[in-house]
Amino acid sequence: MKDGIILPDSEFGKKIGFTSDKFRGYLWKRGDSIYVSMIISKKPCRGNFSKLIENILRLGYKVKVPTPIGIMPLILAKKGFKKTYEYYKELGMVEVWIKEP
């Protein structure tokens, strides 16, 4: 899989369970990581986000969630993600939660 955007129902999206019946938004692949940049669950509290994370990790990718808001940091901490920071030339230091396979 090449670096770039991952849309729902794309070939890779289907492989990891990122489908339009479950999510809106997009993911982003960069190197050995999949960034959960902007997604919304269409069916909250049904385990679809957890399954998505598990599928990504099972394929050997890191899962990264930049600048989570609301209750998302609590959810990520509960799922074993660690809070880190990454530097971006355009943005400076950005909070990024990470989970490795």
- Following CA atoms 83, 41, 46, 51 in sequence, which dihedral angle do they give, to the nearest 10 degrees? -60
Q: Residue 81: what pLDDT? A: 98
Token couple for 58: 């099972």
Show me where the domains of the chain are located: 4-99
pTM of this structure: 0.91
Q: Which CATH class is domain 4-99?
A: alpha beta
What does the pLDDT read at residue 44?
84
Burial 62-84 (b: 16+ CB within 10 A, else e): bbbbbebeeeebeebeeeebeee
Look at residue 33 in the predicted model and tell me its pLDDT: 98
pLDDT of residue 37 exceeding 90: no
17-45: average pLDDT: 94
Q: What is the DSSP string of 51-90?
A: HHHHHHHHTT-EEEEES--TTHHHHHHHTT-EEEEEEETT
Question: What is the average per-residue pLDDT within 2-14?
Answer: 96
